[in-house]
Structure 1
Amino acid sequence: MRKLALTAAQEGIWLGQQLQPDSPMYLAAEYLDIAEGLDVARFRSAWQQTLAQSAALRVCFDEQDNQPYQFVADTSLVVNTSLVANVEDALPVIDLRQENDVEQVAQEWMAQDLQTPIDLRHQPPYRSALLRLSDDRYWWYLCIHHIASDGYSFGLLTQHVVNAYQQSSPVYSKPSVYSKPSVYSKPSVKQTLGDYRELINLDEHYQQSKYRDLDKAFWVEHLERSDFNYQPSMAPGSDYAEQIADRAIRFSKTQPSCWLEQVQSYLTTLVSSDRIAGPAPSWGDVALASVAALYYHKRGVLDIRLGVPVMGRMGSAAVRIPGMVMNICPLLLSLQHEPLFADLVAQASLNMRQSRPHQRYRYEQLRRDLGLVGGEQRLFGPVVNVMPFDRHLRLAEQPVTVHNLSAGPVEDISFAFVQLPQGQVRLDIDANPNNYSLEDLERLASDWQVIAEQAVRNIHYQVPIGMDEMSWADGGELDKKSATVWHQFNEQVSLRPDALALVDGEQQLDYGSLQAKVGTLAHYLSQQGVGPNRIVAIALPRCSDAIISMLATWQCGAAFVCLDPSGPASRNQQIMTDARPVVVIDPLFITRYQASASTHSDAPENGVKCNTALAYLIYTSGSTGKPKGVMVSQQALGEFVQGAVQSYGWQADDRVLQFAPYHFDACIEEIFVTLAVGATLVLRDDQMLESMASFQATCRAWQISVLDLPTAFWHEWVYACCHQGWQIPKDIRCVIIGGEAVQAERVKDWELLLARSPAAQNIALINTYGPSEAAVVATCQRHQFGALDLGRPLPGRQALIVDEHDRWLAKGQSGELVLAGGG
């Protein structure tokens, strides 16, 4: 017995099998459908001849000093699963003729066999059988461990058996292949398979040669860009399964021959254009491009690495030797958004040609070279196999149909394109069932078909992104073209001048009176130099004068920034230095204004002239503790207010509590959504917050119908109501919360409160989210029992998730939230 080293391709498979010794994942299998006329004895003899010539089917494996090795067993010792040389055992016949649904039973028999692992230390690396379906019809089943055979080798072996069978016929006159010549056959009756040991020698020579170093340098140079390391799964959720299943699931779809004709016509047109440099692309390049297009469509990936299985044999003696040689090489494609399909085809063709001399460098080693081992790091995304070999066989003058059952382990998903005898193209999608369902694969096949058929009809076809697949949420259109809040306020003044607009303690102002006070202050401000592109600082406590000052600033065409009168002087000074207001409206300013003789003069008429004009400044704490100013335009504010009106459902007869301090942008929502719908804004006082009982009683006394509260305060209020046995005040019909995550316990308390009072069943609880940069609120969710989250964007707003490189992510993936919209 001569011990032989494992090839680089075999080492990874051996290690994987040892880690999961009871797993059949490395079994590959196919069957040949032999319609009629089979001589079983002759076929068994042909199989025995193939066993004798193919050492790959007679290899045994073991370890010595933790080092794996292999040796080739004598022919007489290797028959199916027995060590007794018996031709019947080498190829048993399983008679299924008495079964009702014979094909289904045969499929189940083969599926069951594929669930039985092969013990590489004690069994030959294959199993085979003839399944007899009728008197004349047989399925020849062949299962081989991947360590001994790749997909190309299946073709060599089956071709050898068929040729040996034909040659044993007394009327043999020609090889069994029809149509064009195959790489599997030669017009010779003395066809033999090459020496298995030569495969091992070729691998050892390559591993020690300069060519390996050159190939490594080529791949590392082309793959070291981190942009390509993001290759999400195509499964729902985009995450990879933690474990490879014992057997992949499969969905197949066949394209009619006219599609391949369209592909050839498309390629002719493409070659005549200026997009192709070098030799013309093949239909295989179109197949590769079609999967890349599908990947982009489903996941929005712009820098794609497909995994492309390659023979690794061309130009060497390995082309005639069965064994495990196949490699998987990355194919890089760089896309723009909505890429031209023609560009994908051109890239696929060019990059495959450039990589062809370097395809022997093992992908397992390349992952280690690039540090892509473990975690979610992937050398490539989907695997795409374009079958380059012609396996159109004939046996006993009848066509033999080859059916692949399993191509071995599938980590995530693979697409195999097989050209059929009549010109059709079959797409087999294999996937890890731990991550995909058959319904998922069917949807992928359907989406691929749409792209593939549309692409080859139009050389200018651009691949669309599948919005339903991406982490994209759209709040929809605004009901009407948004106007500035200033104009929305004045519209309410015109419609309902006598309606109550503002309540501040004993003071009550209708919309007409409020507008008059705004105009008078605006005139005074204009005399102080306030106008377009100016900033006014407002440093007032909660009072009607603060609201009037905000509106008067806009009537002058300026913008405001609110200071915290009780806040640190140093922070206010930093804001003043940064904002550089022309006027500071504080209590002293109001005193001077009220004493001025000009208070009855006409107001300026300019108002807000431009949507892009600044509406207000708001200062956040900033990550460094230094106040950071956020500039919000009139357009952004107007669209927010219009979106909030649509989402919240506030009405003109509502009484909205003005709760938030003016240096928090929650006050913008309370004040201006209220005035935009013609409702009444009720300013709270400090006594209201002395206790939850006081808050509860005041809401009831003031007939508040809308509360806009910080989530933390809502937590305390709901807890108090629930545990004190209070009912929600009867006039409240809408509660807006925001500012932090909602506690699940308080949501349960809220639901208990609603259950206590039938009148409270219709109260809307709306959770909101939005940074100051997004103009107060960007998303909201209406409570419908259960946990509350960020919900969906307001009308006119969109949201998406990106990674650390600003790449758009698919649904289910974690990343950073990006908010979008007008303004």
Structure 2
Amino acid sequence: MHERPNRPTSSSAAHPGGPPSRALPLLTAQSGIYYAHQLAPLGTELNTADRVEITGPLDGDLFTEALVRTVGEADTLALRISEADGAPVQHVVPGEPRVHRLDLTPERAEAWMREDLARPVDLASAGGLMTQALIRVGEDRHWWYQRVHHIAVDAYALSLIGQRVAELYTAAVAQEPAPEGRFAPLGELTDDEAAYLSGEEYAADRAFWAGRMAGYAPEAGPVNADASAGDGLLHRITDLPASALDRLSEAARAAKATWAELVVAATAAQLHRLTGTEDVVLGLPLTNRRGPAALRTPAMAVNVLPLRVAVRPRDTAAGLLRRIVLEIREVRRHQRYPQADLRRDLALESADAPLTGPMVNIKAFDTALDFAGLPGTVRNLAAGPVESLAVGAAPGPDGGLRLTLDANPAAYGEADLAAHERTWLRCLDGLTELLLTTPDRPVASLDLLTDDEVRAATAGRTEPAPLLTLPQTFTAQAALTPGAVAVRSTLAGTFRGALTETDAPGTALTYAELDAASDRLSQLLAGLGAPARTGATVALALPRTADMVVALLAVLKAGLVCQPLDLGHPAARTLAVLEDARPVAVIGTAATLAAL
């Protein structure tokens, strides 16, 4: 390995030594990272890192000058974190950054970066939050390695830093004056957030989230029984070609959406299909940057908030995507509300209590960089902690789309993650096809298993199918999931159910409520002596409410035959049906029976 020191340049004056700044409070996004670090100060899960692969005759000295100047302009890269009066504070401490200059083979460069990523970080030490390196890995091939603790940057901040280095390098190669810096002092961001937290917008955001998350009961995520302490994140990558991205974009446009929103919709549909839940809650990372200063300044500001969406089997592909679009729009309007405050409001005091299900991290912006005509391809090496599962999508090589899955090994094993990836990709492809061909088809029609997977799952099964009637099958399901919603109607009926909202015009019945109501009606039919005749018919003169489902199930439980009547038919037609069927009973409302 060969390493040489930085060449002294005039640009290094951009970060002169000097006294530290005034003590600044942590941004709310930083606070969560700080307390996570305190729980595991020797851990490395909070490191973030990118490798920018630069192809072509790069001038290493000019690049180093551009990098040193950029680091000097970014307050967040010169932070020291400490405590004052029991509360964490941060100081901007100017100093000369070190840039490692290395000549290594790609294999040794990979090992060097892995070793650096595995090194614990001291938040209070000078320059301890980051490592910067320019590694020559071959003729006209360089890797810019940048590792920064998550308390200082998020993905958006890293993109700003990369753009600034490329801008300064390009100007230096052209022998043009360096473009004026755009980064604002970090104090502007902390002052702005302090004003928000004490203002009316914060109160409005809190009210919004109280309504949005009313009745939310988080469920524990998956557990990998084979996990071992110290296992690193599991990672899977799928690169789709440009034609696939064009197809996603075309499918989304028909619903006035983007490919990014289509990826979110597919993730919600997959979770619904895999778990059966109709209350899907995804984690949505939001830039949490409002105003010009925040938009142009590197910092750790990202805020992960819940995207709560109802997903039901009857939802059409177009309808689900449109619902996702509208919900994301609403959440973005209230993205500044701190996640920690929302957890407090929901009484999620334990760090192990999940606020959301899988996180969906969409980076719709192109991260490719241009160094005076030399392409710089950004490869993410570490994105920070993952509670359970994080799915990602971003522009990929050659105009395509890169899809990623990151999983906590405590929740997923390698085989679990591979299976999840297959169903996710199949759901994305299936939802896209529905939008392009039959957007009014329900999401319940999506096939998550291939024919080969179905054959593999059923191979060797020779046991006969259980001889159960529909009422018996329903009763068994009611015993398994008594509190789950079994039927939902937009029209009110006799049976409303405990889960039906007070002001709701319709009805929601759980499996237990539907089972009990149909039992009562079945017993009433038996009391009338209806089952005495084999094949006896009961006519149903009911509107399409939950009452119809209760009556249908009751008739079947009584061993009778249903004869539904179409209430839209002329009276003469209905009477002809009744004369032909000769029902032993007719079930209806006062209004429908009077019309017969």
- TM-score of the superposition, structure 1-length normalised? 0.51
2:381 matches 1:361: no
**Deviation digits for residues 750-788 of structure 1, max 9, x if unmatched?**
xxxxxxxxxxxxxxxxxxxxxxxxxxxxxxxxxxxxxxx
CA contact (8 A) 2:242 2:401 kept: yes
Shift of 1:74: 1.8
The 8 Å contact of residues 340 and 462 in structure 1, kept in 2 or not, is answered as yes
SS of 1:94 mapped into structure 2: strand
1:190 paired residue number: 180
Tell me the secondary structure at the aligned position of residue 404 of structure 1: strand
- The aligned residue for residue 315 of structure 2 is 339
SS at 1:262's partner residue? Answer: helix
Match of 1:128 in 2: 132
Which residue of structure 2 lines up, in the alignment, with residue 112 of structure 1?
115
Shift of 1:233: 2.8
Q: Deviations over 1:82-135 (max 9, x none)?
A: xxxxxxxx11123213xxxx3x44333322221112100124211121222113
Read off the aligned partner of 1:109 and give its amino acid letter.
W
- 1:424 aligned to 2:400? yes
Q: Which amino acid aligns with 2:54?
A: I
Deviation at 1:37, TM superposition (A): 1.0
Q: Any conservation in 2 of the 1:250–1:430 contact (CA below 8 Å)?
A: yes
Evaluate the alpha carbon distance shift between residue 213 and residue 41 of structure 1 in structure 2; reply closer, same or farther with a 3 A threshold: same
Please, which runs of 5 or more residues in structure 2 have no aligned partner? 1-19, 470-525, 539-554, 561-596
Counterpart selection for 2:166 from 162, 166, 184: 162
Q: CA RMSD in A?
A: 3.5
Residues 1:203 and 1:479: Cα distance change in structure 2 (over 3 Å): closer
Aligned-pair CA distance for 1:475: 10
1:15-164 → structure 2 map (5 Å cutoff): 15-76=35-96, 79=97, 90-97=98-105, 102=106, 104-124=107-127, 125-164=129-168
Tell me if the contact between 2:426 and 2:448 (Cα under 8 Å) persists in the aligned partners: no
What is the identity, as a one-letter code, of the residue corresponding to 2:148? I
2:283 alignment counterpart: 307
Partner of 2:298: 322
> Quick one: distance in 1 between partners of 2:252 and 2:171?
41
Q: Number of paired residues? A: 454
Verify the 8 A CA contact 1:451 1:463 in the aligned structure 2: no
Aligned counterpart for 1:248 among listed residues 233, 236, 240:
233
Query: Once the 2 structures are TM-superposed, how far is the Cα of residue 189 of structure 1 from its aligned partner?
Result: 2.6
Inter-partner Cα distance in structure 1 for 2:335 and 2:258: 19
Please give the alpha-carbon distance, in whole angstroms, between the structure 1 residues aligned to 2:323 and 2:187. Answer: 38
Does the 8 Å contact 1:234/1:299 carry over to 2?
Answer: no
Matched, 1:460 2:440: yes
Please give the alpha-carbon distance, in whole angstroms, between the structure 1 residues aligned to 2:467 and 2:79. 76
Matched-pair contact (CA < 8 Å) for 1:234–1:298: no
Residue identity matched to 1:208:
S
Structural mapping, 1:562-641, within 5 Å: 609=534
CA deviation map 1:718-752 (0-9, x unaligned): xxxxxxxxxxxxxxxxxxxxxxxxxxxxxxxxxxx
The answer as to whether partners of 2:57 and 2:140 remain within 8 angstroms in 1 is yes
Corresponding residue of 2:389 = 413
1:281 to partner: Cα distance:
1.7
CA gap 1:416/1:609 in 2 versus in 1, 3 angstroms: same
Aligned to 1:446: 422
CA–CA distance in structure 2, aligned partners of residues 236 and 297 of structure 1: 21
**Does the 8 Å CA contact 1:152/1:311 hold for their aligned counterparts?**
yes
The answer for the alignment partner of 2:252 in structure 1 is 267
2:194 matched to which residue of 1?
204
1:150 partner amino acid: D
Please give the alpha-carbon distance, in whole angstroms, between the structure 1 residues aligned to 2:467 and 2:388.
Answer: 46
Partner of 1:233: 221
- SS of alignment partner, residue 254 of structure 2: helix
Q: What is the deviation of 1:168? A: 1.0
| Aligned 8 A contact 1:251 1:438 in 2 | no
Structure 1 residues 44 and 299, CA gap change in structure 2 (3 angstroms):
same
Secondary structure, in 3 states, of the residue corresponding to 1:24?
coil
Describe the shift of the 1:172–1:454 C-alpha distance in structure 2 as closer, same or farther (beyond 3 A).
farther
Residues 479/56 of structure 1: CA separation in 2 closer, same or farther (3 Å cut): closer
Separation in 1, partners of 2:146, 2:233: 18
CA distance in 1, matches of 2:383, 2:468: 57
How many angstroms apart in 2 are the aligned matches of 1:324 and 1:480?
Answer: 60
Identity across aligned pairs (percent)? Answer: 29
Structure 2 counterpart of 1:252, one-letter code: I
Cα distance, 1:394 vs. partner? Answer: 1.4
Q: Distance in 2 between matches of 1:107 and 1:135?
A: 17
Q: Residues 52 and 165 of structure 1: is their aligned pair in 2 closer, same or farther, counting only changes over 3 Å?
A: same
What is the deviation of 1:266? 1.8
Q: Of the two, which has the highest radius of gyration?
A: 1
Separation in 1 of the partners of 2:432 and 2:77?
Answer: 43
Q: Does the Cα contact within 8 Å between 2:220 and 2:353 map onto a contact in 1?
A: no
CA contact (8 A) 1:253 1:445 kept: no
Q: What displacement does 1:147 show?
A: 0.7
Scaled by the length of structure 2, the TM-score of the pair is: 0.69
Structure-2 residue corresponding to 1:486: none
- Encode CA deviations 1:689-718: one digit per residue, 9 max, x unaligned: xxxxxxxxxxxxxxxxxxxxxxxxxxxxxx
Could you tell me whether the CA contact under 8 Å between 2:307 and 2:327 is conserved in 1?
yes
Structure 1 SS opposite 2:115 = helix
Flag structure 1 segments of 5+ consecutive residues without an equivalent: 80-89, 174-187, 271-279, 483-578, 583-605, 614-630, 637-823
Residues 440-479 of structure 1, C-alpha deviation per residue, up to 9 Å, x if partnerless?
Answer: 222222211211112112223433488999xx99997549
Q: Quote the Cα distance in structure 2 between the aligned partners of 1:190 and 1:633.
A: 79
Conservation of the 8 A alpha-carbon contact between 1:42 and 1:165: yes
- Aligned residue number for residue 370 of structure 1: 346
Provide, for residues 148-190 of structure 1, a one-character-per-residue CA deviation record: whole Å limited to 9, x for no partner.
11110000111111111111113569xxxxxxxxxxxxxx932
Corresponding position of 2:500 = none
Q: Distance in 2 between matches of 1:154 and 1:386?
A: 15
Q: How does 1:667-816 map to 2 (within 5 A)?
A: none
- Offset, 1:216: 0.7
Q: 1:96 to 1:331 in 2, by over 3 A?
A: same
Relative CO higher for 1 or 2, CA cutoff 8 Å, sep ≥ 6? 2
Alignment-mate amino acid for residue 322 of structure 1: P
Report if aligned partners of 1:56, 1:196 keep a CA contact under 8 Å in 2: yes
* Equivalent residue letter for 1:119: D
Match of 2:495 in 1: none
Letter in 2 for 1:310: L
CA distance in 2, matches of 1:481, 1:141: 63
Residue aligned with 1:254, SS: strand
Q: How many angstroms apart in 2 are the aligned matches of 1:403 and 1:370? A: 37
Q: 1:328 to 1:634 in 2, by over 3 A?
A: closer
Report the residue type matching 1:63 in the other structure. E
Structure 1 position 302, deviation (Å):
0.9
Aligned-residue offset at 1:375: 7.8
Assess if the C-alpha contact under 8 Å between 2:135 and 2:144 holds in 1.
yes
C-alpha deviation, 1:634, in angstroms: 9.5
Q: 1:377 to 1:480 in 2, by over 3 A?
A: closer
Task: Quote the Cα distance in structure 2 between the aligned partners of 1:55 and 1:128.
Answer: 16
Matches of residues 371-410 of structure 1 in structure 2 within 5 Å? 371-374=347-350, 377-410=353-386
1:258 aligns with 2:243: yes
